[in-house]
Amino acid sequence: MKIENIGDLKALKEKHYPLIKQRLGHRNGLGLTQIMVCSGSSCVSTESQAILRELERELDEHGLNENVRVMKTGCLGFCQHGPVVMVHPGEIFYCRVKPEDVKELVQTHLLEGRLVERMLYQEDLTGKRIPSINDIHFFKAQERIVLQNCGVINPEDIEEYIARDGYHTLADAILNKRPGEIIDTISKSGLRGRGGAGFPTGKKWEMTAAQDVTPKYVVCNADEGDPGAFMDRSILEGDPHSVLEAMAIAAYCIGANQGYIYVRAEYPVAVERLEIAIGQARETGLLGKGLLGTLFNFDIELRLGAGAFVCGEETALLHSIMGARGEPRPRPPYPAQEGVWGKPTLINNVETYANIPIILRRGWEWYQGYGTATTKGTKVFSLAGKIKNTGLIEVPMGTSLRTIVFDIGGGIPGGKKFKAIQTGGPSGGCIPEKFLDRPIDYESLKEIGSIMGSGGMIVMSEDNCMVDLARFYLEFTQDESCGRCTPCRVGTKRLLEILKRITEGHGEMEDLDILERLSLDIRDASLCGLGQTAPNPVLSTLSYFRDEYIAHVRNKTCPAGVCKGLFSYRVDEEKCIACGLCAKACAAGAISGAPKQPYRIDPAKCVKCAACVAKCPKEAIVKGSDKEAKINENAGIFSGTGSQESRAAL
């Protein structure tokens, strides 16, 4: 069916709204149960699709098809507890469901009308089981605007999106508004690019609209490359139409007829959802020739990226769209002047686009109500690392890192101490505890040596070595450098080599100065954002965790016991019960011993695989600094408590 006016959209909304309303918590007496199975990548990888099939089969078997509907939905963000199944009415949140649990779920919940207690979310502190999603703290503390449809609608059904007022703003824009008015609203809302740099979105639209050259293009950057970040993926998987609608509005505003979504090939679910969404939008006349019966044409093509991190940089992405090697180029000219095929191109990130329909629907004044003085709205973050609730969250700009880590994120598991949080992906800085209470926005993060980036957050505990961490990220950026400009190609390699030396115990104090100097020059001189931000992990750890560097260089120790070159395992003789399990586990043949005598580890043979640590029933295998081991070696003893004396002798 072709949609030609707002009336058609309203009719579709009427038709589906009762179902949606129920999912939002209204007990509207539909006499219908809806089961929403999370079908985001994370839950799909933990077999949510098998659950879906199992549910359909069970319902069939019990003849419940009339009154129960099962459908896919997008990610709710609580991925740590997936696969997630929600049952409406009641907004019952079942987590960590397995396919074999489905029988019980159908029997108990649907047939007997009782909750399946054991599958409900268990609160960490109290141990209480919480049935409704609305009572789970992880969700209560969030503000879901961009993610409003994720987990609520079926992303593979355009009519459900329309029932959530979808495409209404597009229709309103094309039929009733001038491009200038719309751009004005975007500008006033204060929306800034969510891809990382935070450029004012309205200004970008304005610049592209002002170009005389035609044709123009609209591009969506969905090349989310930060390890552990999946904000864009979740939006595309859970609410693809919001991006399509925003792109069509953008095209109308700047005067484009063709759009491209550059999405990673490693996001097969997102690609599939986008293909379905584009197909449905074309069928209904919301994409293609003559949108909503007007003369305005706009269509979207997908371009699959081959996984290069640098293709998230806009000029590299444009090259890649055109079939060239993904390499950035200097700006100016900006993409707004010369983009795809050398023509003016508007390029925004997925999350930026996802903000557009809602801003236009609810007004810029409303949107301004969220955020800080310089940064409006909300931001989606993905939480990873040493944190209890890994997953996806959305909070207003200006929320403190403490709220994110300890309140929503649930803190550090295992009672460990917080050490740092890295924001902005592999090229972000590591922020120490003293800044946790700062309200975060683009500027405040920059001030403390990090970046907003696209929204990845990785939490580090006392078990993480900050030098090793910097090395890890440099390895990533060096691997992903396109190799075009000197500072990024050679400079990051040299940084990495110095860091490697330090983690292996061969660092000199002078190296710290070289690291800092070179990092600053790379930041200053690199061609694109990848190189300019690559030294951030080094600079921020050097500045906030310098003592760890000094420990590696001067004392040849790794305080966190991570750097393999700087510690050895030894047997605590007091604890050892001479069971011999460690020796059996050791593939390197480094452990020897005799009955009733403490075992010993030969540091020369030990490869530090920690297999013995795992096997020891008494936790008798402990880490000691390498220096200690060397002294012991010289003294003719492999291990033991004699180290105290040796140290004294030093």
Partner 1 sequence: MKTPEFSAGPVVRRAGQLYDNPEKKVEKIRLTIDGREIEADKGMNVLEAAHAAGIEIPSLCYLRHINEIGSCRVCLVEVEIKGARVLQASCAFPATEGLVVHTSSARVRRVRKTMVELLLSDHHRECTTCIRNLNCELQNIADNLGIRNIKYTGEMKQLPIHNKNSFIVRDYNKCIKCRRCEAICSKVQEVNVYSAINRGYDTVIAPAFMQDLSQVACITCGQCVIACPTASLAEKECIDSVWEALEDPDKYVIVQTAPSIQVTLGELFGYEVGTVVTGKLVAALRRLGFYKVFSTDFTADLTIMEEAHELLERLERGDKLPLLSSCSPGWVKFAEHFYPEYLENLSTCKSPHEMFGALTKTYFAGKQGLDPEKIVVVAIMPCTAKKFEASRLEMGTGKFKDVDWVITTRELARMIRQAGIDFRDLPDEDYDTPMGIASGAGAIFGSTGGVIEAAVRTAYYLTSGREMDVLDYEELRGFSGLKEAWVELKGRRIKVAIAHGTGNARKLMDRLRAGEQFDYAEIMACPGGCVGGGGQPIFGTREHKEISLDYRHNRADALDRIDYSKKLRRAHENPAVKKIYEEFLGRPLSDMSKKLLHTYFTPRGESPGFDFGGEKGRFAGHVEENLHPVT
Tell me how far, at minimum, the Cβ of 290 lies from partner 1, in Å.
Answer: 36
Rounded Cα–Cα distance for residues 243 and 222 (Å): 10
Q: Under 8 Å CB-to-CB from 476, ≥6 apart: which residues?
A: 227, 309, 426
Q: Closer to partner 1 at the Cβ: 313 or 351?
A: 313
Q: How far is the CB of 489 from partner 1 (least distance, A)?
A: 6
- In the complex, the smallest distance separating the C-beta of residue 194 from partner 1, rounded to whole angstroms, is 23
Question: CA-CA distance, 378 to 420, in Å (whole number)?
Answer: 23
| Residue number with CB closer to partner 1 (450 or 526) | 526
For partner 1, the closer CB: 77 or 328: 328
Nearer to partner 1 (CB atom), residue 311 or residue 576: 311
State the Cα–Cα distance between residues 244 and 208, nearest whole angstrom.
Answer: 19
State in angstroms the smallest separation of the CB of 308 from partner 1. Answer: 7
Minimum distance from CB of 483 to partner 1 (Å)?
Answer: 3
Rounded to an integer, what distance in angstroms lies between the CA atom of residue 541 and that of residue 474?
12
Rounded to whole angstroms, how far apart are CA atoms 255 and 243? 18
* Cβ distance to partner 1 smaller for residue 84 or 310: 310
* Complex with partner 1: residue 158 or 482, whichever CB lies closer: 482
The DSSP bridge partners found for residue 569 are 623
CB 328, min distance to partner 1, A: 9
| 3-state SS class at 445 | helix
Buried b (16+ CB within 10 A) or exposed e, 365-382: eebeebbbeebbbbbbbb
Residue of 583, 604, 471, 619 whose CA lies nearest to 534:
471
User: 571 by DSSP, 3-state: which?
Assistant: strand
Quote the least distance from Cβ 247 to partner 1, whole Å: 30
Minimum CB distance to partner 1 smaller for 209 or for 474: 474
Query: Minimum distance from CB of 440 to partner 1 (Å)?
Result: 24
192, 233 Cβ separation under 8 angstroms:
no
Q: 558 with 612: CB under 8 angstroms?
A: no
CB 93 within 8 A of CB 136: yes
Residue 492: CB minimum distance to partner 1, A: 7
Give the interface with partner 1 as residue ranges (CB under 8 A): 308, 325, 327, 329-330, 332, 478-487, 489-494, 497, 514, 517-518, 521, 524-527
Q: Given phi > 0 = left and psi -120 to 50 = alpha, else beta, which region is 74?
A: beta
CB-nearer residue toward partner 1: 75 or 310: 310
* Comparison of 247 and 485: residue with beta carbon closer to partner 1: 485
Sheet-wide strand order for 68-73:
68-73, 33-38, 85-88, 92-94
Contact 349, 195 (CB under 8 A): yes
